[in-house]
Amino acid sequence: MMRRDVSRRSILLGVPAVLGLAACSGNSAGSTELSSEPVTLRFTWWGSDARHQRTQQVIKLFEAKHKNITVKGEFKEWNGYWDSLATSAAAQDAPDVIQMDELYLASYAERGALLDLTTVKAHLDTSGIDGDVLATGKVEDKQYAVPTGLAAYSMVANTDLLDRFGIDLPDDDTWTWDDLKEIGGKVSAAGGGQVTGVQSWGFDMGGLNIWTRQSGGKLFADNGDVAVKPAVLVDYWNYLVDLAQQRVAPAPAVTVERATASLDQSGTATNTSAFGTWWNTQLTSLAAASGQKLKLLKLPGEADAKQRGVYDKPSMYWSIFSRSKHPGEAALLVDFLANNRDAANVMGTDRGVPVNKEIRELIQPKLEPADQAAVEYLNTIKVSKPPRVTPNGASDIEKILQRHTEQVLFGQVRPEQAAQSFISELQSEIDAAA
């Protein structure tokens, strides 16, 4: 039996890739039974330095508990992560346990790259997770992912910088986007070119979602088509152009540079921008990099919005590669990450405020100040119903958005043209994947 397997594999390796394609359709996933032999799992995630350190600690705890399992961590920053995951998934060689994002969940799940987690429920307990939240990991009614935690969009303000320039914190219960522009302008004026008021955005899905929702619309219709109105995009880009032209935000060249840089190189992390939009749980990593006092503020424009922009987003998910050789052990690791108390104590809120209520109550008193603030923010904001999961084919939305924002910021196209082009390009990617 064993022999035949080996020889079949070596034959597959030997024939040209075109024939090897035929093998792609076959399912070579391993057994869900736990092995008593030594097992090596590969585990991949994206994130900042702070997350890498915490996750390595959790891996050590897991290995101490399961002596026969070795976990190899493969961590990258956001941009490189998805290129690398696509390549390794295509080569049938993706890591066993994959940190997944809402943007890509449907694209991977609908193409059969993720394991249906009900097949490993013997090793993976999801009973502690609220049903509605757990359902956000479903695609086409199958549970492909377990949410790690919740996050909400926020404005991070550097209060040390504001104090230095003698500028008061705005009242974040009532402030508008115009207020942000005004106070940001004051900071830029006092900052003398070294510090800008606002770190401009225009490259991330969260920001666009908020803007669209506040206008009363949504980015994607329930059937997965693009639903954002051109006029909303025009407003969005006009605001960003205003920020850049009135020097509230850095020059477009700097904005573009930062768009593709890591969190640690951002204006907030390097204390060169007083305000920046972030997910509330990124505060921990930002505070570690910045070293200054950072405060989470509610988003501008919520008070007079047609619909609340802010929502609880499953910050990320755990999922298992459908062709993992060790799905049982991989499920054990996911279970450990989702439910283990020691692991939770180490991770804090770095991957979102834990969705497991028991875990959330357990860690809350022991949290460091930045984590405490993140939990408190989530508890105090008023949210509305979250948007649907990003449809299959639209995973590239942030890159399409970035390109159009660049064209607008550099004055190559008018916001009206960009809006039409953005919508039609995004829709054609969705159509192509269907």
Partner 1 sequence: MTVVRARTPTKRKPSKKNKDNLAAFLFLAPWLLGLVLVTLGPMVASFVLSFTDYNLLQPPEWAGFDNFVRMLGDERLHNSLRVTVVYVVVSVPLQLGLALLLAVVLDRGVRGMAFYRSVFYLPSLLGSSVAIAILWKQVFGTDGLVNHFLGLFGIPGRGWISEPETALSSLIVLNVWTFGAPMVIFLAGLRQIPAMYYEAAAVDGAGPLRRFRSVTLPLLTPIIFFNLVLQIIHAFQAFTQAFVVSNGTGGPSDSTLFVTVYVYQRAFANFDMGYASAIAWLLLVIVAGFTALNFVAARYWVFYDD
Q: Which residues of the shown chain bind partner 1 in the complex (CB under 8 A)? A: 16-18, 21-22, 24-25, 79-80, 82-83, 86-87, 89-90, 107-108, 111-113, 251-254, 256-257, 260, 395-396, 399, 402-403, 406-407, 410, 412, 429, 432-433
How crowded is residue 334: how many other Cβ atoms within 10 Å of its Cβ? 28
Please give the Cα distance from 14 to 253 (Å, whole number). Answer: 49
Please give the Cα distance from 341 to 336 (Å, whole number). Answer: 9
Q: What phi and psi values does residue 326 have, to the nearest 5 degrees?
A: -130, 65
Q: What is the CA radius of gyration of the chain?
A: 23
Residues 6+ apart with CB under 8 A from 121: none
Please name the residue ranges forming H helices in 130-229: 131-135, 159-164, 177-191, 205-214
3-state class (DSSP) for residue 93: coil
Please give the Cα distance from 169 to 380 (Å, whole number). Answer: 18
3-state class (DSSP) for residue 294: strand
Residue type, 183: I
Please give the Cα distance from 80 to 64 (Å, whole number). Answer: 30
C-alpha torsion angle, residues 157, 163, 166, 167 (rounded to 10): 20
Please give the Cα distance from 272 to 321 (Å, whole number). Answer: 40
Please give the Cα distance from 352 to 8 (Å, whole number). Answer: 44
Q: Are 158 and 290 in contact (CB under 8 A)?
A: yes
Please give the Cα distance from 406 to 391 (Å, whole number). Answer: 24
According to DSSP, the residues that pair with 199 across neighbouring strands are 276
3-state class (DSSP) for residue 171: coil
**Least Cβ distance, residue 353 to partner 1 (angstroms):** 30
Of 372, 344, 375, 371, the C-alpha closest to 148 is 344
Q: b/e for 132-157, b at 16 or more Cβ within 10 A?
A: ebbebbebeeebbbbbbbbbbbbbbb
Q: Show the CA angle centred on residue 424, arms to residues 419 and 426, nearest 5°.
A: 95
Please give the Cα distance from 182 to 331 (Å, whole number). Answer: 50
Residue type, 162: L
Polymer length in residues for the chain: 434
**Least Cβ distance, residue 234 to partner 1 (angstroms):** 18
